[in-house]
């Protein structure tokens, strides 16, 4: 199985398939009469970005947003589908247009499920988004609606996922690798989002490049809280998430890791399939590991564990192999503090792995929080990078052909 087949998920980003969404099927909204549009640079087009309200009303076919200082009731039937942005195991995300406010949004469709567990996850995503509405590093949540059997989640539209960006940026036709400034701002933004989530007792559990979204204005935000978990005494109990980015303790509890090490020392093969995915619970340190793997992937343009034949081999490598690190040929492109920062994210012993606040104070990121001018400078460099990559992809047929339509 390839990396793409192992990774599942959807993105509320504005880069994706340019095909028109079908109308009417499965409760989908009617297709827009407006022509399909490439990623809409909200800042450049000077569209007023609605201010989200913390919607806590029962689900109906409308929600309330604040636009230009006024509260506006926005109905599901008023939204016009522009195109599909992404498809994942938990739903479909479309780019939609609202004529009344002349704004674009990302709209996630979740088919209402009779399965109690799946329905719980759907409600959990809405609840997490409501609680994260004040975090500037999580996608804005405008409200949730219920329409023709679907739960609809209305969110801020971003321009691309970081997975989309890096697959295009490292395409030889484009050749725009991530710079140190861009990678630094990604690390800072994601850590700020995860730290905020931790402060409201929530763990993301699915940190990966396709759940990190970027805008042409340089913002980097986390999305897809469909499997986020509420922490019980700082511990998450259920084990979900993309296998590519699972921390070692999410594959094998530390006690079992010691047993497999003893088995290998005695000549055995260590890991066996019956022991996989039986954690005793894990902390938000698992999200730190996922961030570290993601940063190595963004810095190099490839998944650090390389091609794997299937989930069992992948799990074995995560548990047994040394943690990922920047290859020698990539180190020169980045600040000398980055390898040390990554090593603190990718400590295999979760008890020794650094936490969010400590990483935000690491020399690689130190001072960004207290220096608005520095943060603005990093954001501006990220904006230039995002625009360059997206413009290169839209202007080159070879680059467009390689640009992923599903994330």
Residues recognised as catalytic: 206
Rounded Cα distance, 87 and 210, in Å: 12
Write a three-state SS string for 275-339: HCCCCCCECCHHHHHHHHHHHHHHHHCCCCCCCCCCHHHHHHHHHHCCCCCCCHHHHCCCCCCHH
Contacts of 107 (CB under 8 A, 6+ apart): 29, 79, 81, 93, 94, 95, 96, 152, 153, 154, 155
Q: Which of 103, 138, 125 is nearest to 220 (CA)?
A: 138
DSSP annotation of 247 reads -
Whether the Cβ atoms of residue 65 and residue 74 lie closer than 8 Å to each other: yes
DSSP string, 394-406: HH-HHHHHHS-S-
Q: Work out whether strand 220-222 and strand 70-75 pair parallel, antiparallel, or are unpaired.
A: unpaired
Whether the Cβ atoms of residue 385 and residue 176 lie closer than 8 Å to each other: yes
């Amino acid at each position: 199985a390839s990396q793409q087949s192992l990774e599942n998920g959807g993105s509320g980003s504005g880069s994706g398939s340019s095909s028109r969404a079908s109308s009417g099927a499965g409760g989908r909204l009617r297709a827009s009469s407006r022509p399909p549009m490439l990623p809409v640079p909200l800042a450049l087009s000077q569209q007023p970005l609605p201010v989200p309200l913390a919607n806590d009303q029962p689900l109906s076919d409308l929600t309330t947003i604040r636009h230009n200082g006024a509260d506006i009731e926005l109905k599901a039937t008023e939204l016009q589908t522009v195109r599909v942005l992404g498809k994942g195991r938990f739903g479909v995300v479309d780019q939609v247009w609202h004529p009344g406010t002349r704004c674009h949004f990302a709209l996630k469709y979740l088919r209402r499920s009779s399965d109690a567990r799946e329905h719980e996850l759907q409600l959990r995503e809405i609840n997490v988004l409501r609680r994260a509405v004040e975090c500037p590093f999580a996608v804005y949540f405008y409200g949730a609606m219920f329409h023709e059997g679907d739960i609809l989640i209305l969110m801020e539209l971003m321009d691309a996922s970081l997975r989309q960006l890096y697959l295009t940026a490292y395409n030889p036709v484009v050749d725009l690798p991530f710079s140190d400034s861009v990678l630094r701002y990604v690390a800072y933004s994601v850590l700020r989002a995860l730290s905020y989530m931790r402060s409201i007792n929530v763990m993301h559990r699915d940190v990966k490049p396709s759940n990190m979204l970027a805008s042409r204005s340089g913002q980097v935000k986390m999305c897809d809280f469909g499997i986020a978990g509420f922490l019980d005494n700082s511990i998450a109990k259920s084990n979900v998430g993309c296998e590519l980015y699972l921390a070692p303790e999410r594959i094998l509890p530390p006690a079992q890791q010691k047993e497999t090490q003893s088995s290998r020392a005695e000549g055995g093969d260590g890991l066996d399939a019956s022991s996989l995915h039986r954690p005793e619970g894990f902390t938000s340190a698992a999200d730190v590991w996922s961030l570290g793997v993601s940063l190595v992937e963004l810095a190099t343009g490839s998944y650090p564990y390389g091609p794997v034949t299937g989930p069992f081999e992948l799990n074995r490598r995560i548990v047994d192999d040394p943690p990922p690190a920047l290859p020698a040929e990539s180190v020169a492109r980045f600040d000398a503090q980055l390898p040390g920062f990554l090593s603190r994210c990718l400590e295999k012993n979760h008890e020794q792995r650094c936490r969010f606040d400590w990483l935000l104070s690491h020399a690689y990121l130190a001072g960004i929080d207290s220096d608005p001018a520095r943060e603005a400078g990093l954001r501006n460099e990220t904006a230039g990078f995002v625009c360059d990559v997206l413009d290169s992809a839209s202007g080159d047929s070879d680059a467009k052909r390689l640009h992923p339509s599903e994330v």
